[in-house]
Amino acid sequence: MRSGFKQVPDQRAENVTISLPDALMSGFALFSLKDPSLLAFDRRRTTDNNLQRIYGIGQVPSDTQMRIILDDVEPRGIRPVFQAALRRLEGSKELDKFRFLGDSYLVSLDGTGYFRSQTIHCPSCLQKVNKRTGEVTYYHQLMGAVIIHPNRREVIPLMPEPILKQDGESKNDCERNAAKRFLVQLKQDYPHLSFTITEDALSPNGPHIRELMRHGFHYILGVKEGDHEYLFEQVALARQEGRTTEFEQREGGVVHRFSFINQVPLNKSNPELLVNFVEYWETKKGKTRHFSWVTDFTIVKLNALAIMHGGRARWKVENETFNTLKNQGYHFEHNFGHGEKNLCVVFAVLMMLAFLVDQVQQLACELFQAVLNKKGSKRSLWEEMRALFHTFELQSMTQLFQAILYGFKGQITILAPP
Ligand SMILES: [Zn+2]
C-alpha cells in the first residue's frame, strides 16, 4: 500500500510538513484498525509508535491536517494502488482461485449509498429535494465492484466508481452512467484479463449489452418477466415448439431444473441483438426458487450449472461487500469528514483498500485465517487488534497477529514523571 501511495500525484506546494504517502497511509491505517472516528485515530498520534513501525508512517498527521491534505487528493490518483494489488494476486497465483468458466473472472457491480446529510455537502454530493418541504438532502453513492467466485466467501474489491451529481435524475440513470465509466476503466486497467460481468435485472437493455460486448466482456445478467416481456414471450413460444432444452440435475437434497435456449432476441427494439437465455428452478426442502438470466456464453447442459452459480453469486457484492463494510466494524456509513472537494470520496476509496487488504489476508494468509478463526468474528478480531496496538510496542503486523494467536506475557513499564 505504502509504495503504491508514493505514486499518487501530490497537488500541493513544495514546502509541506506531512508527505502525501504519510497522509494516505494514515487514512488507510484508520480503516485498517477500524477506528470509530477520526478523533479516536488522532489520540493514537501521541501514544502509539506502532503507527510508524507497523504502517511505516513517517509523520502522522493530526485529524485536521489529514482532512485538509486528503481533501485535495484526486480520487482517480489512487486507482494504481488497486491495480498493483491485483498484479500481486496474479503473480502469486492467488487470483487463480477466482477463475470462472475457463479463464474468466466474475465481476459483480452495484451502487450503494454511504453518506447522507441535510447540512454537510460538497460539490460532488448528490441531492434530493423533498417536493413538499423543499428540504434538500445531500448524499454520496458509489458503484462498488468486486471480483467474486461462487465457491468463495472472499471478494477482491476493484477501484469503486463514484456516482456523481451530473450522472442523471433517476437512480437508474445514475447507476448506469457510473457503471459505464467503470467498464471503460476496467478494460483500460486490466486489458489482459477476461471478465464476466454479472448484474441485476435493471441492467439488461440493448445499449448496455452492446457496451459490454464492445469491451469484450462476457456477461450473465438477471432478467425478470415483468421487465422483459418480449423475451419471455419468445422463450414461451420456443418452448411450445420444443426448441428449448429442459433438464434436471440432483445434488444432495437439491433439485436443479433448467430450461435454456441460445440466440433469442433481447427485446422488440433490438431484434438483431441475440442473447442466450436460461431459466432455473431450485427446489430445496419443498421450497422452489426461480431465477432467469441472459448471457453471451453458449449454454449447454455441461455449463448451465456454472452459469447459474455465477448469476447467483452476484449477491456477494451486497452480502460479502457492502454488508461487511456496514455491519462488521468498518463504519462504512460514518462520516469521517466530508471536506470541500474530495475528502468524502477519498475516505471511501481508502476504506475499500483496507477492506481489500483484509480480504486478501483472509484469502491467502494462514496466520490471519488462524486469528480470525480463534476470535470467531471480525468485530472481535478488530477489537483485540486495537487493544494490543494501543497497549504494546509492536514490531510488525505479524507480531501482532502472533500475539493474538499464541498469547503473550504482558509487561508493565510505568513511566512516572521525575
Ligand atoms: Zn459531498
CA distance 277 to 297: 10
Banded model confidence at residue 172, pLDDT cuts 50, 70, 90: confident
- Write phi, then psi, for 152 (nearest 5 degrees): -120, 140
What count of other Cβ atoms lies within 10 Å of the Cβ of residue 155? Answer: 28
Please give the C-alpha separations between residue 210 and each of 10, 184, 213, 285, in angstroms, as whole numbers: 38, 13, 5, 40
Cα 178 to averaged position of ligand 1 atoms, centre (Å)? 16
Which one, of 192, 162, 158, 176, lies nearest residue 79 by Cα? 158
Banded model confidence at residue 280, pLDDT cuts 50, 70, 90: very high
Cα 182 to averaged position of ligand 1 atoms, centre (Å)? 20
Give the contacts of 163 (CB within 8 A, at least 6 positions apart): 111, 126, 140, 141, 142, 143, 174, 175, 177, 178
Cα 116 to averaged position of ligand 1 atoms, centre (Å)? 9
Lowest mean pLDDT among 6-10, 48-52, 169-173, 298-302: 169-173
Q: What is the pLDDT of residue 290?
A: 96
Cα 332 to averaged position of ligand 1 atoms, centre (Å)? 15
pTM of the model: 0.94
Express each pLDDT in 285-323 by its tens digit.
999 999 999 999 999 999 999 999 999 999 888 889 999
Please give the C-alpha separations between residue 120 and each of 41, 126, 139, in angstroms, as whole numbers: 22, 12, 9
Over residues 77-83, the mean pLDDT reads 96
Q: Which three cell numbers stand for residue 175?
A: 447507476
Q: What is the pLDDT of residue 58?
A: 92
Q: Are strands 126-129 and 218-222 parallel, antiparallel or unpaired?
A: unpaired
Over residues 370-384, the mean pLDDT reads 97
pLDDT > 80? residue 171: no
Cα 382 to averaged position of ligand 1 atoms, centre (Å)? 28
Q: What is the pLDDT of residue 298?
A: 98
Q: What is the pLDDT of residue 201?
A: 59
Give the contacts of 400 (CB within 8 A, at least 6 positions apart): 54, 385, 388, 389, 394
pLDDT > 90? residue 11: no
Cα 222 to averaged position of ligand 1 atoms, centre (Å)? 32
Cα 379 to averaged position of ligand 1 atoms, centre (Å)? 28
Cα 75 to averaged position of ligand 1 atoms, centre (Å)? 13
Over residues 81-95, the mean pLDDT reads 96
Cα 338 to averaged position of ligand 1 atoms, centre (Å)? 6
CA distance 193 to 215: 12
Q: What is the mean pLDDT of the chain?
A: 93
Q: Percent of the chain, pLDDT > 70?
A: 99
Q: Residue 141 carries which DSSP code?
A: E
pLDDT > 80? residue 391: yes
Cα 121 to averaged position of ligand 1 atoms, centre (Å)? 4
Q: Are 340 and 71 within 8 A, CB to CB?
A: yes
Cα 138 to averaged position of ligand 1 atoms, centre (Å)? 7
Q: Are 274 and 318 within 8 A, CB to CB?
A: no
HEC profile of 186-211 = HHHHCCCCEEEEEECCCCCCHHHHHH
Banded model confidence at residue 413, pLDDT cuts 50, 70, 90: confident
